[in-house]
Structure 1
Amino acid sequence: MLSKEKVSSSISSSSIVNRTLENNPMCTCGSPASLRTSNTRRNPGRAFFGCSNYNMKGLPHYNFFKWADSSQEREQELVKIDIKLLRKQDELQKTQEEFQKTREELRKLEEEVRKTMEEVRHWMEEVRKREGEIVKMELELRHQRIHIRICWAILILLYLFYVRSY
C-alpha cells in the first residue's frame, strides 16, 4: 500500500490525488484500497483505487475498483442509471411474464379450437351419414312410386279389359 507521501511524490500533486487519498476507500476484504494509474487505451493515465491485495495471492475476490476522479455527482448519476436499469429489468420481467401468460392463454385457446374443430368434424360425418341415409330413402321412395304407378296402370288396364268384355 502506498502512503500519502509516496503517492504525492510519485504522482503529480493534484487536487484529485489529495482529495481522494483523504477519502481513501476500503476494499471488501477489509484493507484500504491503493491509488493506481490506468494504462488502458480507453483511460490512459487515469487514477483509480484498487484493492491492495489484488492478484497478490491469485485470489479473484479482491476486485475492488473505483475511479479516483469520480465525484459523488457522477456516482449518483450511476446510481440513477442503475435504478433505471433495474426498473427496466423489472419491466422486462413483467413483460416476459405477461407474454408467458398470454402464450399460455393462446395455447389453451388453440386447444379449445382444436377440440371444437374435432367436434365439428364429428358432426359433419354424422350429417354425411344421415344425408346418405336420406338419399337411400329417397331412392327407395322413387322405386316404390314407380311400383305403385305400375300397379295402378295394371289395375286400370284390367278394369278396362273387364269393362269391355262385358
Structure 2
Amino acid sequence: MHEFVALISQALLLGIGATLILDLWTLLLARGLNIPGANWAMVGRWIGHFPHGRFVHPSIAQAAAVPGEHALGWLAHYLIGVGFAALLLLICGLEWARQPTLAPALIIGVVTVAAPFLLMQPGMGAGIAASKMPKPNVARLRSLMAHSVFGLGLYGAGMFWAWVQELTA
C-alpha cells in the first residue's frame, strides 16, 4: 500500500509540474508568436458526451455544448498529465523520481503523442493524426512539439521535486 501511495503522490507532483511547464510553453507561443494553444473546452465537450455513449464526432465544434466543458477540459488535461507521469514511474520505477534522467521522460513525452493521434483527434473529428485538418502536418508537428515539451517538463519537474526531497530529508 505504501508503494502505491508513493506512486500516486509522485505522479501527481510530476504530472502537474510537467503539464504546468507545457502550459507555460503554450502561453509563450501564444503571446510571443501568436500561435494559439489547444482549446480545452472542446476536449471537455468531447469527454462530456461520453456518458451518453458518444465517443466520435464529425466535428466537435459542431457538437452540442456540455455544461462545464471548459473546466472539464482543463481537468482532463491535468489528469492525463498525471496519468502519463504514472506511466513513466510504472516503467522506470519510483527510483526515477529520486534520480531523474532525461531520456525516459523525453521518450514518454514523445510516445504519448499517440493519444491525440489515435484517440482524441479521430474522436473529435480531426481524423487519425489530424488527417482531416486543413494543415495536417502543422497539427502533427505541433502535437509532437507539445508532447516533447511535456517530456522535458517531466524531467524538469522530476529534478525540482528530487531537489526539494533532498532538502527536506
TM-score for the superposition, normalised by structure 2? 0.21
Greater strand fraction, Structure 1 or Structure 2: 1
TM-score for the superposition, normalised by structure 1? 0.21
Greater helix fraction, Structure 1 or Structure 2: 2
**Structure of greater relative contact order (alpha carbons < 8 Å, 6+ residues apart):** 2
